[in-house]
Amino acid sequence: MSDVYAQPTTGTDPADVSLLASYTTLRTGGPAARIVPATSADEIVRAVREAGGRDEQVLILAGGSNVVIGDAGFPGTVVLVRSRGLRVVAEDADTVTVRVEAGEPWDDLVAATVANGWSGLECLSGIPGSTGATPIQNVGAYGQEVAETITGVEVHDRVEGTTGRIAAADCGFAYRGSIFKYSDRWVVLSVDFRLTRSPLSGPLRYAELARALGVEVGDRVPLADARAAVLRLRGGKGMVLDPADPDTRSVGSFFTNPVLDRAAYELLRERAADLGEPPSWPGAGDVVKVSAAWLIDKAGFGKGHPGPGGVAISSKHTLALTNRSGRASTADLVALAREIRDGVHARFAVTLHPEPVLINCTI
């Protein structure tokens, strides 16, 4: 499942809504054979089953803020998830569990949790897309990941033909991944989050955010302050959707931060000896996560680096690849992504991997 919004992306150039570019924040992607809107879990399941009965391929699509669709489009049924709503399903003195429909816009949910004094999602403010997409990607930013608060995911199992709930422990959550990410078996219908009743954020883990708030890492701040600071930081990096800003015609961070074993990390340090210590964070076991943005920049691909057809690295953030012209093709974007990936590997012997879901295209 990709990110979910109900309508074509505001300001898209393609006038033909059969073009999937109309439903992606990149504004690229060819036509679909069939597009079916679904406004409830039952409608989502019915659309998937009917497409299966026609022996068609199925793509579950939302606002397309984390998907790259090929220029040939998609030769089957695209189900646009438009389900909305959230409700409290469990609570006690310290916590509240909310069940959120897959199509609920993510930032609307975060805003609601902050307004209600529920802590746990505030540092994930400003991320475009749907709630249903977040467990697929194990969305994370500024020191928080959704895996920390998700208790279960309601899914339709296309193999078994059943609907049920998968506990968080069985979702296979990992860095920017889950059992859902590279499988079309499960269709996410709703997500349960257990949040803390508190007017304060969780302990801040991200140094940049702590600095922006004038506090120390580990401190807690009012929820609204944390949300406002995250929105400012994301906006300054072109990571909050803005039809007037061509840097936001992107999928956000295009590459994940590489996770290296000790030998690969030491090789990187050798190759980067003239550049100083690569920014890195220790991971579980003997692995190290390295900044992809730093690797890209130091390999010679700075902010604004151009590619074909009007694509370019964002002028605000090295990790975002943008369709600045609004007229580029997916092939143009792929060409730039390959140039960056190959250049980083040649310089540092580190292979970058794309973060978005790729549909009928490869990097």
- Active site amino acids: 176, 253, 355
Cα–Cα distance between 215 and 201 in angstroms, integer?
12
Element (H, E) at 42: helix 41-53
Structure tokens at 232: 């400012």
Instruction: Determine the Cα–Cα distance for residues 318 and 144; give it in Å rounded to an integer.
Output: 21
Q: Quick one: DSSP state of residue 14?
A: -
292 SS3 class: helix
Distance between CA atoms of residues 252 and 261, nearest Å? 26
Rounded Cα gap, residues 104 and 95, in angstroms: 21
φ/ψ region of 191 (left if φ > 0, alpha if ψ in -120 to 50, else beta) reads: beta
Structure tokens that stand for 41 in this block:
């879990």
CA-wise closest residue to 320 among 333, 332, 331: 333
| Whole-angstrom distance, CA of residue 264 vs CA of residue 247 | 33
Q: Could you identify the residue written with the tokens 């970058």?
A: 352
Neighbouring CB atoms inside 10 A of 7's CB total: 12
Would you say 135 and 243 are in contact if contact means Cβ atoms under 8 Å apart? no
Exposure letters 255-284 (e unless 16+ CB within 10 A, then b): bbbbbbeeebbeebbeebeeeeebebeeee
φ/ψ of 274, rounded to 5, equals -85, -5
Residue 348, Ramachandran bin (φ over 0: left; ψ between -120 and 50: alpha; else beta)? alpha
Within 13 Å of residue 278, how many CA atoms lie on the same side as its CB? 31
Q: In angstroms, what CA-CA distances link 308 with 52, 322, 323, 338? A: 38, 11, 10, 12
